[in-house]
Structure 1
Amino acid sequence: MQHIALFFNVFACVMLTLAFPLPSSSTIHEDELVDIEKRIDHVGRGTWFRPGLGNCGKWNNASDLIVAIGKRLYDRNKGSNCDQYMEIINTANGKKAYGLTRDSCHSCSDDDIDMSPALFKKLAPLEQGVIRVSWHFKNRSWRP
């Protein structure tokens, strides 16, 4: 009788294990793995610059909504944030905007960002020059 009870307990455990679906390789995409990373909120200095050929290898102009992240952050991530959107909030007035990462900024810390004039204007007047911002990267597949 004990052998039958043991058999049924083992059988039940095996069946429960098999009942949980495992993702197949066809349902997991490489960019989804990046999206699982914990969102990191940065708070730092926001400035503006005149874009051109960015460190991501693409040309942009003053009317594009682009961002340059700190050079050390860019290098540490090996440029993997290129073409990734971020959400940016002016902490003084609560205005929110979205920018596409296209460059690195040598004078920026990991928490600072440099924005194109068009993007900066969505948060504050250009004359202000420097603002305090809170920002984080969006999921790689996110688009505004």
Structure 2
Amino acid sequence: MSRFAAVVSIALCAFISATSALPMAVNGTLSKRVTHDGRATHYETGLGACGYRDDDSDPVVAISHLIYGGGGNCNQWMQITNTANGKTQYGKTRDKCEGCGEYDIDLSPSLFESLGADLSQGVLQVEWHFMNKDWSP
């Protein structure tokens, strides 16, 4: 019986280890430090779904409506890297993007340009992840 208990214990540890690395949404909030690959576009800011009014010069992000949930990621900072040139910037989640795929993001014009792209380019391939809740630049 002790051999059986050891096998079950090892299997349980392996299962917990494997599933703890998966990104999980809790109350509409994605787990932190999990890197997502997606496309980034730009949009005209204004009054966002989080209830704040922003300007095009603010480093703000709209996340996909598929992960926005109830707004649990509002005011959450994220690190965004342009995979074409390696430039990294930080943006604050302030809106949701109805036309975005699950891990696509919409950036304010100034944030889009700060990643080394011209607005006429329109789309960037990016990697991004949320920062810890108390992080700020």
Give the count of matched residue pairs: 106
2:65 pairs with 53, 57, 71, which one? 71
Distance 2:86 2:34 in 1: 19
CA shift, 1:39, in A, is 2.1
Kindly indicate whether the alpha-carbon contact (under 8 Å) linking 2:61 and 2:107 is maintained by their aligned counterparts in 1: yes
1:92 pairs with 73, 76, 84, which one? 84
TM-score by length of 1: 0.72
Distance 2:133 2:102 in 1: 19
Distance 1:138 1:66 in 2: 14
Distance 1:81 1:69 in 2: 9
Distance 2:126 2:32 in 1: 20
CA RMSD of aligned residues (A): 0.9
**Structure 2 letter corresponding to 1:63:** S
| Map 1:1-144 → 2, pairs under 5 A | 37=31, 39-75=33-69, 78-123=70-115, 124-144=117-137
Q: Which ranges of 4 or more aligned residues in structure 1 deviate by more than 3 Å?
A: none
CA shift, 1:68, in A, is 0.1
User: What is the SS of the residue equivalent to 1:67?
Assistant: strand
TM-score by length of 2: 0.75
Structure 1 residue runs of 5 or longer lacking an equivalent are: 1-36
- Percent sequence identity over aligned pairs: 53
**Structure 2 letter corresponding to 1:143:** S
Structure 2 residue runs of 5 or longer lacking an equivalent are: 1-30
Structure with greater proportional strand content: 2
